Structure 1
């Protein structure tokens, strides 16, 4: 199925997800789970000031950070390894920065009616774009 937002996709976010359960050790002997990049094409819309007023800024965000919400376009459904709090490199239009994921399918979740909506429109995401 093709995303209804494919024609207006405007951003790419590259999340790091676990790679097949393999683990290595770093230079000081700490166990580190190996990861692989997952590039996700998304449609993001900046929230207007009235809608954004319900969103609390997080520590570490600068005053250039802007809150966006939208949908995953390709792949349409994000794997469960992509969780709230993930910070990933992102490109929005011609701007590069990072996306801090604040919500995943916040309205209805990923089961029941939420699963039907996610299969039709894609995973709904929201978060901060930091330049």
Structure 2
């Protein structure tokens, strides 16, 4: 009789733990899917593209960039490398300067990149994904 009660208690305990195992498994799977969707790629089948292509992007940069007057006065020039993420919806995020020139020029490069219109997102296996992009921005007084 005692043995039967012990078996019943063990079965009851197993039945109570079963939903916890299923629930934990579901949470782990959801977290793995979430991490996968937040992955940032450096190279994909279809790289992100500025609307209209590279020629339009150069025109946008030329039109939008305002050389800081103080940098002109001090004759500061150079090329900074701006890194950002093109999101799945084409928006720009995580803008930062990887190769700095001068705080005035770096800030202007960031401002210009943040003001860009939505890009055509990068794609992997036909689906939009987040892609890291590096863009050199040149400041020249010549």
TM-score, L = length of structure 1? 0.28
More strand by share: 1
Larger Rg: 2
More helix by share: 2
